[in-house]
């Protein structure tokens, strides 16, 4: 039976690492799982180019190892910035700032699923994209924690203290043990 864990977090700190966690249950040895719902990064700033500040949406195994990571960032291109949405090591979506912000700033359907050792992401109607585990030593069959990971490091340049907002107006987690 699915469980609902709707969630909203707003981070703005000049320095440090902060997390928000939600348990996904005592899931040991499942055959497949799915985290899905609607996701908005409304009024949120993308992860910084040099990884000095940002946020990640992560699913952790029972040992705290990262199975999946979903996040947004950007690249300085001319004449407009190019924005990206990543699922682990894959690009799920990319476009100019003007084209992608109306998408990421509004709640969009998303899904992160695992089966047969593969992780599959979809976001805002994009094609399903399959990826490897973010940490190859993580156990995808033991998803136990949803973590929102926010960070600002000492090497962040002045003015980098931007809002980081993750909003799941709908969030559901399901597991399959009968495959």
Decide if 38 is inside a domain. yes
Q: Between 15 and 139, whose confidence is greater?
A: 139
CATH number of the domain to which 120 belongs: 2.60.120
> pTM of the entire structure?
0.91
Long-range contacts of 78-86 (CB under 8 A, 24+ apart): 83/46, 85/123, 85/124, 85/126
Decide if 103 is inside a domain. yes
The total number of structural domains in the chain stands at 1
Share of the chain above pLDDT 90, in %: 66
| Residue 104 host element (H or E) | helix 97-104
What's the pLDDT at 4? 52
Decide if 73 is inside a domain. yes
Decide if 8 is inside a domain. no
Pairing of strands 66-75, 53-61: antiparallel
pLDDT tens digits, 90-99: 999 999 988 9
| Confidence bin at 1 (pLDDT 50/70/90) | very low
Check whether 105 has a pLDDT greater than 80: yes
Please give the residue range of the domain that contains residue 143: 16-159
Decide if 176 is inside a domain. no
What's the pLDDT at 158? 56
Dihedral through CA 169, CA 144, CA 114, CA 136, nearest 10? Answer: 120
Nearest Cα to Cα of residue 19 among 139, 167, 159, 146 = 146
Residue 55 and residue 46: Cα distance in Å, rounded? 8
| Confidence bin at 83 (pLDDT 50/70/90) | very high
What's the pLDDT at 153? 82
For residue 164, give both structure tokens.
């980081």
Decide if 41 is inside a domain. yes
Decide if 166 is inside a domain. no
Cα 126–chain centre separation: 15
pLDDT tens digits, 143-153: 999 999 999 88
Decide if 137 is inside a domain. yes
Return mean pLDDT, the chain.
Answer: 89
pLDDT tens digits, 161-173: 788 889 999 999 9
Range of lowest pLDDT (74-78, 130-134, 159-163)? 159-163
51 Cβ contact list (under 8 Å, min separation 6) = none
């Amino acid at each position: 039976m699915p469980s609902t864990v709707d969630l909203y977090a707003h981070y703005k700190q000049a320095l440090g690492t902060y997390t928000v966690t939600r348990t996904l249950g005592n899931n040991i040895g499942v055959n497949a799982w799915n985290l899905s719902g609607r996701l908005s990064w409304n009024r949120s700033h993308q992860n910084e180019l040099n990884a000095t500040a940002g946020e990640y949406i992560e699913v952790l195994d029972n040992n705290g190892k990262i199975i999946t990571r979903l996040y947004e960032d950007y690249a300085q291109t001319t004449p407009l910035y190019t924005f990206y949405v990543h699922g682990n090591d894959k690009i799920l979506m990319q476009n100019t700032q003007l084209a992608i912000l109306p998408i990421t700033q509004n709640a969009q359907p998303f899904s992160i699923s695992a089966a047969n050792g593969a992780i599959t992401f979809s976001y805002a109607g994009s094609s399903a994209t399959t990826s490897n585990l973010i940490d190859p030593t993580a156990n995808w069959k033991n998803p136990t924690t949803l973590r929102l990971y926010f960070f600002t490091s000492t090497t962040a340049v002045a003015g980098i203290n931007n809002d980081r907002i993750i909003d799941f107006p709908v969030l559901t987690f399901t597991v399959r043990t009968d495959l």
